[in-house]
């Protein structure tokens, strides 16, 4: 799970997350020119819808975060796009927390953007780029969620470590799915991968 509910993390962590998120949002919104607005909005709606697709894993199932894909397609604009997705989730499902919003946004969007920017350098081999961006963003999110828990108090250290384990199946699924998605895009709509970040 990528969203920490309200009441878990401590106030300094809340402030740190809010600071990181504000920085990312400022960078992202500056790149969000009116020309790119409809496309970015459509993609943030898409990330929300895709998070409703359940992928079977063993007896359970996981849903995609698609952070890596957002990073590849949008660069820093992935920050506001993911923020919109999180607000939608809170408004439609009551999920995700209010005060902890900044922390959750930073935990998902920062690794997504950085892994996506890394993935863009590998676009000569699209499937590889997709897999790398997906794994990087999920691993980064797992690490940041565990870090926010551990920084809130020593008693959460064990919970953080246990949480990282739950991300391993998601990492595998996300890598395969994202490789398939970017591979498909390279064949069907290569210009989607040529946008300037």
Partner 1 sequence: MSTISLAPRAALKTPPRAALEMPLRVKPILSRLDPRSRVVACLAFAAVVVVCHSLPAAAAALLPAAVLALLAGLQAGPTLRRLLALEGFMILTLFTLPFTMGGPVLFSAGGLDWGLEGTLRAALILTKGTAIALSVMALLGTLELAELGHALARLRLPARFVALFVLAARYVDVLHTEYGRLRLAMRARGFRPRASLHCWCALGHLVGMLVVGSLERAERVHAAMRLRGFDGRLHLLDEHRPGRLDWGFAAVLTVTFVLLAVLDFA
Residues with Cβ within 8 Å of residue 104, at least 6 apart in sequence: 2, 3, 4, 17, 86, 96, 97
Q: Which of 27, 88, 118, 143 touches partner 1 (CB under 8 A)?
A: 88
Binder of partner 1 out of 27, 43, 121, 139 (CB under 8 A): 43
Segment interacting with partner 1 (CB under 8 A) among 16-24, 31-39, 111-119, 135-143: 31-39
C-beta of 134: minimal distance to partner 1 in Å? 10
Q: Tokens in use for 12? A: 């300094």
CA 189, 70, 81, 57 dihedral sign is positive
In 5-68, the DSSP E strands lie at 54-57, 60-63
* CA distances (Å), origin 97, targets 24, 56, 94, 114, 133: 19, 26, 8, 24, 27
Which of the ranges 16-24, 102-110, 114-122, 184-192 carries the binding residues for partner 1, by CB under 8 A?
A: 184-192
- C-beta of residue 68 within 8 angstroms of C-beta of residue 59: no
- Per CB under 8 A, 192 contacts partner 1: yes
Range 96-155, binding partner 1 (CB under 8 A): 97-99, 149, 154-155
Q: Which of 122, 128, 151, 159 binds partner 1 (CB under 8 A)?
A: 159
Does residue 53 belong to the site contacting partner 1 (CB under 8 A)? yes
Among 71, 156, 167, 171, binds partner 1 (CB under 8 A): 156
Binds partner 1 by CB under 8 A, chosen from 15, 19, 23, 57: 57
Tell me if 83 sits within 8 A of 109, measured CB to CB.
Answer: yes
């Amino acid at each position: 799970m990528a969203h920490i509910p309200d009441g878990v993390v401590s106030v300094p962590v809340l402030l740190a997350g809010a600071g990181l998120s504000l920085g990312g949002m400022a960078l992202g919104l500056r790149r969000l020119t009116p020309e790119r607005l409809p496309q970015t909005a459509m993609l943030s709606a898409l990330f929300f819808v895709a998070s409703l697709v359940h992928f079977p894993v063993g007896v359970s199932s996981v849903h995609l975060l698609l952070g890596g894909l957002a990073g590849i397609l949008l660069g820093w604009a992935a920050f506001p796009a993911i923020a919109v997705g999180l607000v939608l989730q809170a408004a439609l499902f009551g999920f995700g927390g209010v005060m902890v919003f900044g922390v959750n946004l930073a935990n998902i969007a920062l690794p997504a953007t950085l892994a996506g920017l890394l993935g863009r350098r590998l676009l000569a081999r699209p499937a590889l780029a997709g897999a790398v961006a997906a794994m990087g963003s999920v691993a980064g999110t797992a690490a940041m969620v565990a870090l926010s828990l551990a920084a809130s108090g020593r008693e959460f250290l064990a919970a953080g470590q246990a949480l990282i384990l739950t991300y391993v199946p998601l990492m595998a699924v996300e890598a395969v799915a994202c490789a398939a998605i970017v591979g498909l895009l390279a064949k069907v709509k290569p210009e989607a991968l040529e946008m300037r970040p």
